[in-house]
Chains A and B, each alone.
Chain A
């Protein structure tokens, strides 16, 4: 093995006196990918920020962190500024906020080049253009004077990667670089990182909560829990053997299938929710001040049925119209044409007053467990909120009883009532969101990516909860997700959506095992799957998982 680019030995980190990392050891060689895996709060990001020395105030690190021969923990701030962006660079999780909204992408990529090399503006911009071309944003299609808001999430993440790789750093740290992206974009971005690492002989620290995501790409792997290394070594060996119980636990969580009695239950005949020929158009971008806009069709002639007590998945890439459709089903948005009927009653076009009965029986759980609660209200008030939909006002004691039983149903203690949302973890907050959704004893819960923001261990628990609520309460779900493993875990049937249309539908296992449409095939191929990735790597004997696109490219290059 070549001399390592990054050496971490006995790294201890405390923030305001609380230990966060306990004795981390890790080495990354040039041209290799080292995965750092653990659930949220395990210290993955803190390890990365220690290497960059961008820790929050009050943090104290001890031990060894060396970049090549240089001791990073002993380096002064001026020296670190010289190293950051030049020798060690970082790609962050959230591409929507990682770029400065008021600066063009050209400026932002060129800035680091100018800062570190002293290159002139024109020179730096030429290099920025070449770098953007390398990450798949050719200047002919994506001029340097574009602003971040003019790009999609996947394109923005490419810009962030271009910023990080502009000066061919020796070490690249990618902290959950694809967690906010859909599976197809995820595969593309991971391929891109793999190529850049191989071409520039960088060392890549790839941080993820999901073994399935790193399984296909990592050479080495370190598994963290509560700030300590659980298991480390050759990625393929570690993932195949799964010797350490925690590794097994993470692997199980990655492809978790809840014990779900109703999974095999036959479909009932009665339609609970019925959508017919739904179309939703938005006014498009106007070409000029007075020229009329061409409408954008977000949902294009969609019809479907959710039978009572069934779980129906709606899968597709980001921007395919899933969430718009969900809003229409919930009567939060009106379709341009088409109708929605709930429990035999047409809901389209009804006013708020007439919708109360339907709303009581039809609740929602959103993706973001942080953003969907008012931080200044107690959990009791937040969960009791939908009770105003009840036909008669409830007495105080009765409200409290209902909140308590809803909390019990989602596995939370009754004393949670008096607390505030910020006192709970992401997974607990999602339980609270589910408690709020079931307090009116609904028949249907619309779930819009309810587990996408959670790490795999928490995700598994929440999926178990959804399965149990379906078994016990007979809840029907419209389950919106871009993640096929989630669809496999918790749906009876799936609909695959693309560009506003439903292009394929059927029983979940049938669609996911033998997809027919292009869109479904692409989703299935891109979905991270731990066991499949290991199998492929064992069969090919290759250090990387040779994805179709990638091997062709390499063949051309060789």
Chain B
């Protein structure tokens, strides 16, 4: 397992290096002068020259790449052009919203999906299964912003249990921040839970048809015990894969929900930065997201190794 972990870690480092190169050089290849792109078409040549000098665009490409890498390693992502503050500060503020939001949504969706997936797989073909699967279908089909509006109307406007939007920050204690994230987290979690339920159910049904399940039944274990002891762990691999993908999505793919609830998250930051051609911010956020996705996949790989001893040797 140690060698397996070390190999995976090596792959993580190589992937990060490649990804950073892709991000950097793609912005390099994009037609047009980044400085002019940022300043707009009406900017004077002198202003553009000044910005090029400030951004170090006149240096050779490789030198700039390594300077950029080195800067990031020290936590220096550059300075935002529109906000005139270090990108790292901007990201830092937003991460404090996006990461808790993604984590809460992920925990919720897992907590709903795995038990429901097991329940429906154990009762496949019966009315309870059919009903739950119809519900899951609905969860996938309904757009999450519409569901978010519904939640706001019920819990914020009618019942007035939770705030309808905005984010007060974490400085006033846990609850004000948490209560602002609950409704968006539910809105994000439901479609994810619906997908994960279906994956869990189908993976489990597939493993329940395996020969070793029959072997376990022939040992005298009741069907229920066989499901928990033998089928579940074997069914986890596809579930883990989807979980990893979902976390990556929840972290940055939440622009719509952030807009509905007026949350200052990473999605909105990058959305606005693109609109304002603030390439330095875009670069920083993209690299951060890439790093997160790679890291989450690393964790998923480790979980694979735990779930399936056959993978540990590779």
Contacts and interface: CB of A to CB of B under 8 A. Distances in A.
B221 A54 contact: no
A164 B310 contact: no
A427 B7 CA distance: 46
B212 A86 contact: no
A111 interface: yes
Interface in B210-232: 210-212, 214-222, 229-230
Contacts of B195: none
Contacts of B217: 54, 84
B6 interface: yes
A178 B217 CA distance: 21
A81 B218 contact: no
B215 A163 contact: yes
Given A84-B218, A84-B219, A112-B220, A147 B309 contact: yes
B2 to A, nearest CB: 9
Contact of B219 (A77, A78, A85, A101): A85
Given A101-B308, A289-B3, A81 B222 contact: yes
A101 B210 CA distance: 11
Given A94-B211, A97-B212, A147-B310, A102 B234 contact: yes
Interface string A514-548: 00000000000000000000000000000000000
Nearest to A87: B220
Given A94-B211, A288-B3, A289-B6, A101 B309 contact: yes
Nearest to B211: A97
A308 B230 CA distance: 53
Contacts of A54: 214, 217-218
B8 to A, nearest CB: 12
Nearest to A149: B310
Interface string A471-504: 0000000000000000000000000000000000
Of residues B7, B211, B214, B308, which shows the largest number of chain A Cβ atoms within 10 Å of its Cβ? B211
Given A101-B310, A289-B7, A115 B218 contact: no
B296 interface: no
A92 interface: yes
Contact of B308 (A77, A78, A81, A102): A102
Contacts of B211: 92, 94, 97-98
Given A289-B3, A289-B6, A99 B215 contact: yes
Interface string A76-104: 01100111111001101010011111110
Nearest to B213: A100
A100 B218 contact: no
Interface in B174-198: none
A83 B220 CA distance: 7
Contacts of A116: 220
A100 B3 contact: no
A101 B308 CA distance: 7
Contacts, number: 77
B42 to A, nearest CB: 58
Nearest to B231: A100
A232 to B, nearest CB: 26
B233 interface: yes
Contacts of A86: 220
B290 to A, nearest CB: 26
Interface string A264-306: 0000000000000000000001001100000000000000000
Interface string B287-314: 0000000000000000000011110010
Of residues A94, A103, A288, which shows the largest number of chain B Cβ atoms within 10 Å of its Cβ? A103
Contact of B309 (A112, A149, A160, A164): A149
Nearest to B307: A102
A84 B310 contact: no
Nearest to A83: B220
A163 B308 CA distance: 21
A115 B220 contact: yes
Q: What 3 pairs between A and B have smallest CB-CB spacing?
A: A85-B220, A85-B219, A84-B220
10 contacts: A54-B217, A78-B222, A83-B220, A84-B219, A100-B230, A111-B221, A112-B220, A160-B215, A163-B215, A163-B219
Given A84-B217, A92-B218, A112-B219, 15 more contacts: A78-B222, A83-B220, A84-B218, A85-B218, A85-B220, A89-B218, A89-B219, A97-B212, A98-B211, A98-B212, A111-B219, A111-B221, A111-B229, A147-B309, A149-B310
